[in-house]
Amino acid sequence: MDYILTNIFITLIMLATVKLISQSPARLQLTLLMLAVISWFIPWHKIEFLRIYSQDLFTKTIENLFPQINEYLQTNKLDTPLSLNAPAAPTLLENIQQTFYSPYFEYSLIIMSCIGLAWLVVDISRYQLYLSKLNNSAKEKNSLLEQQYFSSTITFRRKLTLKTSPLVPTAMATGTFKPTIWLNQETVNSPQIHSILLHEITHLQQLDPTLKWLILLIKRLFWWNSLVQILLKKIDLLIEMRCDQHCFSVKQEKYSVDLAEIILNHHKKSQALDIKVSWLTSITSQSNANMARITSLKIEKTMKARFVTLAIFGVLLSSMVCTQINSISIDSVSTNSVQLQNTQKLDLNAMELNLQTHRAKLKKFKIYLAETEVNTDYNRQINQLVSLSKDALNSDKNVVDNIFNEIETWVAKRAQLNQNQENKLMFHTFAVQNFLLQQQGKSEQIIDLLVNRFGSLDRLPKAYLNRAATALLQQQQPEKATQVLNQFNFNDPRIAIGNIYLAVEAYMLGGEYEQALQLLEDRLNRDSGRDTQRLLTLKYQVLNYIGSSKEANQIKQSLANYHNIHKVRHRDFSVPQLRVHWAPVLDYI
C-alpha cells in the first residue's frame, strides 16, 4: 500500500541524510530520524496532496540522481493502447504496490499491532515489577545532589528525587512528572559521580525517559518491521549521544575520560540483573553503542551551515517523494474512474457498437404485441419509441441527451394504456433511457428516474434491479447496490448469472469478501454445469484479488485441466466494471 511504500522511501532518505551529516550535533540527526518514525503513523494513502510543481520538481531531481529511473519505472509497460479486454501490464511501481495492496494486508497490520500492544503490556508489567523491587530496596540520597552542586528542581519546576539501590546498573533516570535518579550503591562513592549525575539530570531535563517510552511503544507496534527497528536503534544511540554532547559542553575532556571509566568499570553490572533495562535512560548502553558514544566525543560536533542545508534537503526530498508516490497512488486508484470520465464516450460507444453487431446475429427481442385492435395503441406507441431512439448509438453526447429529453417529453404527453401494456411500454422506455444515460455517465439520474417512477428502490420490479444496482455501483455505493440485489432469491438457480456477477462485484467493492465467496460457492453447488466455467473464473479473480493465492492457484489449475483455460485476466474490484445494458427497442433501429 502507499502507506508502506511512502514510509520506506522517507526512512531510507532520512537514514541516508543522517549518514551524510554524521559529524553534526546529535540533536539534528535525532530530529530527522524522529520525523521518519513519526511518518509511520501518518496515513499517507488517505491524504490528498497539492501537486503544484511537485511532480516536475521531483521527476527532475530523481532523473539527475538516477538517470536510469525511467527505464525501471516503465518495466513491462504496454506499447499498445489500453483496451477494455486487455488491461495494461503494471509498471514496477504498480507491482510493488500490488504486493502490499491485498485487502487482507490491512487486517494483518491490525493483528500485528495488537500483538505489539500485548507485548507492550508485558513490558510495562516488567517495568512496574522492577520499580517495585527498586523501591523495596531503595534509600533516598537527595543530599548527594546538594553535595555535587546540583539543584533538586529541574525543567518545568519538577522536584527531583535521588535514590540508591543494589539492583541498579550504575545509574539510570525514570519518570516524567516525578523524575527520579537511581544509583547503584557502589556508584555513590565513585570518582565519576558528578559526571554520572550530570548525565542523568540531562536526560530528565530533555524528557528522555518519556521519549524512551515512546520509542518502546513504536518498537512494539512495529516489531515486524525491520526498517523501523533499524531507525529506533539509531535513535536510541542518538539520545545518548545528545546527552553526552551536552555533558561534554559542560565538562569538556573531563567528561570523556569519566564516561570511558564508567563504561569500563560498570558495564558488567547490567548483565547481572534479572531484568533487561536497555530501553531505560541509563548511562551505560550496549557495548557497541558505548564505543560509538566514546568515539563520537573525540570529534567536536558543531552546527554548520552545510549540515543544516543537507538536513533541509533531506526533508524536502522526503516531502517530494511522499507527494509523488501518493500522487501516483491517487492517480492509480482513480485510473479507471478518470478513464471513464475522459474516454467513457469512446469506450461505451465502442461497446455499444460491438453489442449491436452481436445482436444483429441473434433473434430480435420481442417488443410488439399481436396485431389486434386491443394492442393497436400499444404497438403505435412502441413505433414512436423506436423512432425517437433511432440515433441512440450516436457518439455525440449532445445528440444522446436530446434524445433522452425528447423521450421524456413524449412520455408526459402520450395516452395511457391498460395496466399490462403500460408496464411493458414503460419498461422498454426506461431501458432506452437507461442506455442513453449510461452513455453520458449519468448514473445518479438513472436512480432519480427509477425513484420518481416507483417511489423508492425497495419497490422496484425485478426487471429493473440489475440496472439500478449497476448505477449505484458506478456511484461507489456498494451497500445500496447490495440491498437492491438482495431482492433476488439467490437460492433460485434460475436467477441469471449476470445478477450473480453484479452481486459479487457489489460485495467486493464494499469489502465484504467472505459474502462474495459464499455467494459464488452456493451458486457453484447449484449450477448444472452451464455456467461453471464463468463462475470458477470469477472465483479465481476474487481469490487472487484478496491475496488467497493458494486457493486461487487451485482454481486456476482446475480451469486449465477441465475447461482448457490457461490464462485468466486479473480483476481490480476497487473500481466498478464498465457495463452496457442493451435496450430491446434498439434491435429495431
* pLDDT tens by residue, 278-318: 556 666 666 667 788 888 887 777 888 999 999 999 999 88
Beta bridge partners of 173: 181, 281
| Per-residue confidence (pLDDT) for residue 353, from 0 to 100 | 80
SS3 for 375-405 is CHHHHHHHHHHHHHCCCCCCCCHHHHHHHHH
Provide the pLDDT for residue 414.
94
What is the per-residue pLDDT for 285?
63
CB 485 within 8 A of CB 469: yes
The answer to whether 475 and 444 have CB atoms below 8 angstroms apart is yes
Residue tagged 524536502 (cell numbers): 316
* Confidence band, pLDDT 50/70/90 cuts, at residue 60: very low
Interval 412-438: pLDDT, tens: 999 999 999 999 999 999 999 999 999
Q: 322 or 164: which carries more pLDDT confidence?
A: 164
Residue 338 has pLDDT above 50, yes or no: no
**Between 199 and 269, whose confidence is greater?**
199
The DSSP letter of residue 156 is G
Query: What local confidence, expressed as pLDDT, does residue 266 receive?
Result: 63
CB of 472 closer than 8 Å to CB of 447 = yes
Question: pLDDT over 70 for what percent of the chain?
Answer: 81
Percentage, residues of the chain above pLDDT 90: 59
3-class secondary structure, 367:
coil
Q: Provide the 3-class DSSP secondary structure of residue 328.
A: helix
pLDDT of 130 over the 60 cut:
yes
Mean pLDDT of 8-20: 93
Task: Look at residue 495 and tell me whether its pLDDT is greater than 70.
Answer: yes
Name the superfamily (CATH) of residues 340-588. Tetratricopeptide repeat domain (1.25.40.10)
52: confidence class by pLDDT, cuts 50, 70, 90: very low
Q: How confident is the model at residue 325 (pLDDT cuts 50, 70, 90)?
A: low
Q: CA 181 → CA 176, 204, 391, distances in Å?
A: 11, 9, 87
User: Using CA atoms, how far apart are residues 131 and 123, in angstroms rounded to an integer?
Assistant: 12
Residue 307: its H or E element: helix 305-333
> CA dist 201 to 98, 135, 150, 165, Å?
49, 20, 9, 18
Which pLDDT value is given to residue 541?
A: 93
Whole-number Å distance between alpha carbons of 84 and 569: 11
At residue 517, the pLDDT reads 94
pLDDT digits (tens, 9 = 90+) for 485-494: 999 999 888 8
Better pLDDT: 265 or 215: 215
Task: Judge whether residue 549 has pLDDT over 90.
Answer: no
Please enumerate, as own/partner, the contacts of 11-15 that have beta carbons within 8 Å and a separation of 24 or more: 11/36, 11/39, 11/40, 11/227, 11/228, 11/231, 12/227, 13/314, 13/317, 13/318, 13/321, 14/231, 14/314, 14/318, 15/230, 15/231, 15/234
Tell me what the mean pLDDT of segment 474-487 comes to.
Answer: 94
How does pLDDT run across 70-86, given as a tens digit for each residue?
444 444 433 333 333 33
Q: Is the pLDDT of residue 460 over 80?
A: yes
- Report the chain's mean pLDDT, rounded to a whole number: 83
Give the model's pLDDT for residue 589: 85
Q: What is the dihedral of CA 521, 336, 440, 423, to 10 degrees?
A: 10
E strand or H helix at 163: strand 161-164
Considering only residues 563 and 284, tell me which one the structure prediction assigns the higher pLDDT: 563
- Considering the entire predicted model, what is its pTM? 0.54
User: Is residue 382's pLDDT more than 90?
Assistant: yes
Q: Which of 58-62, 128-132, 372-376, 566-570 shows the lowest per-residue confidence on average (mean pLDDT)?
A: 58-62
C-alpha cell at 569: 485476466
Average pLDDT over residues 166-181: 91
Per residue in 184-241, pLDDT (tens digit) is: 888 898 999 999 999 999 999 999 999 999 999 999 999 999 999 999 999 999 999 9
From its phi and psi, is residue 582 left (phi > 0), alpha (psi between -120 and 50) or beta? beta
Whether the pLDDT of residue 440 is over 50: the answer is: yes
Check residue 262 and give its pLDDT. Answer: 86
Q: Closest by alpha carbon to 467, among 517, 491, 433?
A: 433
